[in-house]
Chain A
C-alpha cells in the first residue's frame, strides 16, 4: 500500500517536472494565470528598461523622458480636462467613421457575396481602390472637407471600407453551400435565405473582421488628426512636437495604445458573449 502510494508520488513528481519543463516548448498549454503573469512580466521588463535608460541619462529627457515624467504629465492633463476632451473627441470620430464604413461594407459584401452581377460590377473597383495608399488621400480629404470632423470620417472610411467590404464578402462566401441548399428546400426565397441563414451563419466571422478593422481605424483617425485638426489625440501629439513636450507625445501614444487594446478586448468579450453557441460546453 505505502509502496504504491510512494510510487505514484514519484510518478506524479516526474510528470510535474515534465510539465514545468514544457513551459517553453512548442504548443504547450498552461493555466490562464500563468499566461497573464508572463504578459505582465514582459510589460514590467520594458518599463524597467525604459526607466534605466532615462535614469542613467543615456538619452536626453527632451528625447526620452522617464516613465514617471510621462505619467505625471498625463495625470496633469487628465486633471485639467485636456486628456478627457481629446479622448472623447477621438472616440466620437472613430465611432461615427467606423460605423458608417462598417454598415456600408456589410451591405456591399452581402450584395457582391450573393449576386454574381454585383460582384462583377463592384469587386474589381473595390480591389483597385484598396491598393491606393490611404495617406495619399489625406491632401484630397482636406481639400474637400477642410479640418472638419467630416474629413476624419472620410479618412477612416477610405482606410476601412474597401478592406472591410472584401473581407466581409469572404466571410459570407465561406458559408457552406448546403446551408443555402437547406434553406431552399424549405421553399425560402433567395432574399430570405440570405438574411435568415447566410448572414447569421457568417456573423461570428463578420465580428472578427469588425474587430480587426477597428484596430486599423485607430490608425486612420490618428493620422487624420495629426495632419488636419484642432482637437483630438492626434492633434495634441502635433502640439507636443511643436512645443517639444516629448512627455505629452509619448503619453498620448501610450493612451492610444491603451484605447486600442481596450476596444479590442471589449470586442472580444462581446463576441464571446454573442457567439456563445459556438463553444462546446
Chain B
C-alpha cells in the first residue's frame, strides 16, 4: 500500500449563491508530507475559498478533501490556520492567546504554559509574552498567530496571505522566520499569496490558479536548493522562474480585460 499524500483534493467544485456563481472548478491537487506549496493567482480567483474549504470552514459543492487519506468533516485540529486579518483575541496577552488554543484543543493543563512559552520562543517573541495584541506591531501579531497555530501540532498549516498587510521589510523577516520554522519542524504548509517572489522563495511547488472559474491551471516546481538565503534574487534561473509564474498569472487577467 502506497503511503497517502498529506493532503489530496479531487474533483472539487465550489459555487456561491445557489450555484449561480462558480468560483472553483474541478480542483485536483496533492500535497506531500513536509511539503511547502503556494497557491498564487489574481485576486478573486478563489484562493481564500479553496483554503477555507481545506480548513473545513466552508463546504464544497462536491469533490473530496482527504487528509492522510481520510475525508475531512468540518474544521479540525489536524489543520491549523493563520488568517490574513489579525485574529489574536484582544483581551488576552500573547502568552494567553497561545494558551487559549492549547486549552481548547484539550492539552494537559499542566503543560499548557510551557508549550505556549516554547512556541513564543520559536517565533522570537518571548519578551512580549505578556503584551496585549494592541501593544504589538502587525508583524508581531502574525508571529503570535503562527505560534498559536503551531502550538497544538496540526498536521497541515494553512496560511492565507499572512504577510499581506505587512511592510516589505517586515515581510522579508517573516518569510525568513517561517522558512526557519518550517525547516526545523517539518511541516506541511499551504500558503496563499499573490506575491510571486514570496511564493518562489518559500515553496517546493507553486500552484498557479486561473480565473473565471478558479482552477489550478499550472503547477510549477521550484527546485532551488535549501536552505535558501533569499540572495538568489540575482540568479538568472530564479528570475526566469519568477517571470514564468508571473506570465502564467498575467495570461489570465489580460484575458479578462478583453471583453
Query: If A184-B75, A187-B105, A277-B132 touch, does A179 touch B57 (CB 8 Å cutoff)?
Result: no
Residues of B contacting A203 with CB < 8 Å? Answer: 91
Q: Are A201 and B77 in contact (CB under 8 A)?
A: no
Query: If A181-B81, A187-B105, A278-B134 touch, does A201 touch B57 (CB 8 Å cutoff)?
Result: no
Docked pose: A188 CA to B76 CA in angstroms: 9
**Could you mark each residue 171-191 of chain A with 1 if its beta carbon is under 8 Å from any beta carbon of chain B, else 0?**
000001011011111111000
User: A280 at the A/B interface (Cβ < 8 Å)?
Assistant: yes
Q: How far is the CB of A146 from chain B (nearest CB, A)?
A: 45
User: B80 at the A/B interface (Cβ < 8 Å)?
Assistant: yes
Can you name the residue of chain A whose Cβ is closest to the Cβ of B135?
A: A280
**Interface residues, chain A, with chain B CB atoms under 8 Å away:** 176, 178-179, 181-188, 192, 196-197, 200-201, 203, 275, 277-281
Q: Are A185 and B134 in contact (CB under 8 A)?
A: no
Q: Are A200 and B89 in contact (CB under 8 A)?
A: yes
User: B173 at the A/B interface (Cβ < 8 Å)?
Assistant: no
Q: Are B91 and A186 in contact (CB under 8 A)?
A: no
Residues of B contacting A201 with CB < 8 Å? Answer: 89-91
Q: Are B105 and A181 in contact (CB under 8 A)?
A: no
Q: How far is the CB of A100 from chain B (nearest CB, A)?
A: 27
Docked pose: A275 CA to B80 CA in angstroms: 29
Can you name the residue of chain A whose Cβ is closest to the Cβ of B101?
A: A186
- A contact face: mostly helix, strand, loop, or mixed: helix
Q: How far is the CB of B127 from chain A (nearest CB, A)?
A: 15
Residues of A contacting B75 with CB < 8 Å? Answer: 181, 184-187
Q: Are A186 and B77 in contact (CB under 8 A)?
A: yes
Q: How far is the CB of B214 from chain A (nearest CB, A)?
A: 20
Docked pose: A181 CA to B52 CA in angstroms: 9
Docked pose: A176 CA to B89 CA in angstroms: 11
Q: Are B77 and A185 in contact (CB under 8 A)?
A: yes
Q: Are A185 and B57 in contact (CB under 8 A)?
A: yes
Residues of B contacting A279 with CB < 8 Å? Answer: 134
User: B67 at the A/B interface (Cβ < 8 Å)?
Assistant: no
User: B43 at the A/B interface (Cβ < 8 Å)?
Assistant: no
Docked pose: A182 CA to B154 CA in angstroms: 14
Q: How far is the CB of A196 from chain B (nearest CB, A)?
A: 8
Can you name the residue of chain A whose Cβ is closest to the Cβ of B88?
A: A182
10 contacts between A and B (CB under 8 A): A181-B83, A185-B76, A185-B77, A186-B77, A187-B76, A201-B89, A275-B91, A277-B134, A280-B134, A280-B135
Interface size on B, residues (CB 8 A): 26
User: B251 at the A/B interface (Cβ < 8 Å)?
Assistant: no
Q: How far is the CB of B72 from chain A (nearest CB, A)?
A: 12
User: B87 at the A/B interface (Cβ < 8 Å)?
Assistant: yes
Among A187, A196, A197, A281, chain B packs the most CB atoms within 10 A around the CB of A187
Q: Are B105 and A186 in contact (CB under 8 A)?
A: yes
User: B79 at the A/B interface (Cβ < 8 Å)?
Assistant: yes
Q: How far is the CB of A198 from chain B (nearest CB, A)?
A: 11
Q: Are B89 and A197 in contact (CB under 8 A)?
A: yes
Docked pose: A33 CA to B52 CA in angstroms: 52
Residues of A contacting B133 with CB < 8 Å? Answer: 277
Residues of B contacting A277 with CB < 8 Å? Answer: 90-92, 132-134
Residues of B contacting A178 with CB < 8 Å? Answer: 83, 85, 87
Given contacts A178-B85, A181-B83, A280-B134, 16 further A-B contacts (CB under 8 A): A176-B87, A179-B87, A181-B81, A182-B83, A184-B75, A185-B75, A185-B79, A185-B80, A186-B75, A186-B77, A186-B101, A187-B105, A201-B90, A275-B91, A277-B133, A279-B134
Q: Are B91 and A176 in contact (CB under 8 A)?
A: no
Q: Are B55 and A187 in contact (CB under 8 A)?
A: no
- The 9 A-B pairs with the shortest beta carbon distances in the complex, nearest first, are A277-B132, A186-B104, A184-B75, A178-B83, A182-B87, A185-B81, A185-B75, A178-B85, A178-B87
Docked pose: A174 CA to B87 CA in angstroms: 14
Docked pose: A43 CA to B203 CA in angstroms: 67
Residues of A contacting B92 with CB < 8 Å? Answer: 277
Docked pose: A186 CA to B89 CA in angstroms: 14
Residues of B contacting A196 with CB < 8 Å? Answer: 104
Residues of A contacting B152 with CB < 8 Å? Answer: 186
Q: Are B55 and A181 in contact (CB under 8 A)?
A: yes
Q: How far is the CB of A253 from chain B (nearest CB, A)?
A: 40
Q: How far is the CB of A33 from chain B (nearest CB, A)?
A: 27
Q: How far is the CB of A154 from chain B (nearest CB, A)?
A: 35
Q: Are A188 and B87 in contact (CB under 8 A)?
A: no
Residues of A contacting B83 with CB < 8 Å? Answer: 178, 181-182
Among A181, A186, A203, A275, chain B packs the most CB atoms within 10 A around the CB of A186
Can you name the residue of chain A whose Cβ is closest to the Cβ of B57?
A: A181
Q: Are B87 and A184 in contact (CB under 8 A)?
A: no
Q: How far is the CB of A194 from chain B (nearest CB, A)?
A: 14
Q: How far is the CB of A280 from chain B (nearest CB, A)?
A: 5
User: In chain B, residues 78-135, which have Cβ atoms closer than 8 Å to a Cβ of chain A?
Assistant: 79-81, 83, 85, 87, 89-92, 101, 104-105, 132-135
Residues of A contacting B132 with CB < 8 Å? Answer: 277
Docked pose: A200 CA to B134 CA in angstroms: 16
